[in-house]
Structure 1
């Protein structure tokens, strides 16, 4: 049996690890988009780069005799999610979307929801002047016109233009600690945080640090899983689904 994991997330890597341990005879290929310069590689086979859209992915599924497809990409990777759904239907391959649960505000949180990065940018001038922007290096163009604000941008790799004029870049990769996030907010005098609802624990400490500091957080809502696609909330559940596809 051959399983293709569309990866790049902690959950994708963990799924590959579980399958390698529990089903050593299973062929597992993880596909990475190639946007990160030095990704953490999972066990099994790894391919890097795009497929050329839904049609290219469907052709790859057929050519490599894939028996099950798991879309374990980032919750905000909308294009690949829809391409996976289309390709799986075309190639008649079972598809599962692995999506970690989203964050839920708690007592003391001051969250403002936004439907897009552009909507998030529109909220900022009324909320603060020193912004901790944790949405990654892609999409910074949405904030490029906000010349009256200062941005602390955190990403794995250095961002490219267009981006905000007044910004400082921190190159770092989670998981992050609560003490580290507290220090970062205090040291840079952050008065508003912007994040995508990525879920998970690796980057969640910033939310608690913001709550403790009384700093508002603009949370960009994640896109829904494509219609008709079964979803799993964690790698263990996804592994059970994969092993259940064996004939």
Structure 2
């Protein structure tokens, strides 16, 4: 485990990462003499992108383990910049920040909104997404990540195109499967070409928000392909900003900024 350097007088910051926003914030803070930054990654990706700040890999052992880390490392600010679907770690961040007396900010990128021409069916779980595919065999483009692809083994009559960052391996044991390994961003034109080439009939996506993977949503709209959209899980109400720039303003405002004035930061 790498640790943030002991820098006298510097604000000690822990970023819970794994997103583009976390990377952007880490890059913006790298090299600043007034900040000692540690980026924490869950370890689900075998070859994570290298960032210019000390990085630790792996879990903390729940809220208690995270609180212990915050105390031990004398962390001043905790930034939850995890994925919109990482509800467990976000809950742990709140509990740990309270227990350790550390100020917490969440970076929560806006969700995608339905636009004219979108053919969305919104669901609240992977099990609901599987059911929404129906009983008739379809050519399904799954873009939900490796961790949750296994839920679709319950509907083996469909033909699946699955795109993941990590190798899918045996995560989805179905007879009709094409796996693609790729990391975004993906533009709309390329996504439309892929969907036409593979004769995609329906897209399954999490509502992750952001620009990096929005191309598939725009492409589905342009091709009149229906989308099963998995809604975000509920997360605790905490002070939040939509991007890394907002987090920088919060950090630079110091103790003068609280939840009531955060919208002005």
TM-score under structure 1 length normalisation: 0.95
CA distance in 2, matches of 1:124, 1:137: 19
Q: Is 1:186 matched up with 2:196?
A: yes
> Which residue number corresponds to residue 222 of structure 2?
212
> Which residue number corresponds to residue 168 of structure 1?
178
CA distance in 2, matches of 1:125, 1:213: 20
| Residue correspondence of structure 1 range 89-168 to structure 2 within 5 A | 89-125=98-134, 129-165=138-174, 166-168=176-178
Offset at residue 179 of structure 1 (A): 2.0
**4+ runs of 1 displaced by more than 4 Å?**
none
CA distance in 2, matches of 1:86, 1:77: 15
Secondary structure of the 1:176 match is coil
> CA RMSD of the aligned region, Å?
1.5
Secondary structure of the 1:245 match is helix
Query: 1:127 touches 1:216 (CA, 8 Å); kept in 2?
Result: no
Change (3 A) 1:130 1:91: same
Residues paired across the two proteins, number? 245
Q: RCO greater where, 1 or 2, for CA within 8 Å and sep 6 or more?
A: 1
Offset at residue 127 of structure 1 (A): 7.9
Query: 1:11 touches 1:72 (CA, 8 Å); kept in 2?
Result: yes
CA distance in 1, matches of 2:228, 2:220: 11
CA offsets per residue over residues 24-60 of structure 1, 9 Å max, x none? Answer: 3310100011111111122211111110111100000
CA offsets per residue over residues 208-241 of structure 1, 9 Å max, x none? Answer: 11111110001101123313x1111011001111
Offset at residue 105 of structure 1 (A): 1.1
> Which residue number corresponds to residue 15 of structure 1?
25
Structure 2 segments unaligned to the other structure (5+ residues)? 1-10, 257-265
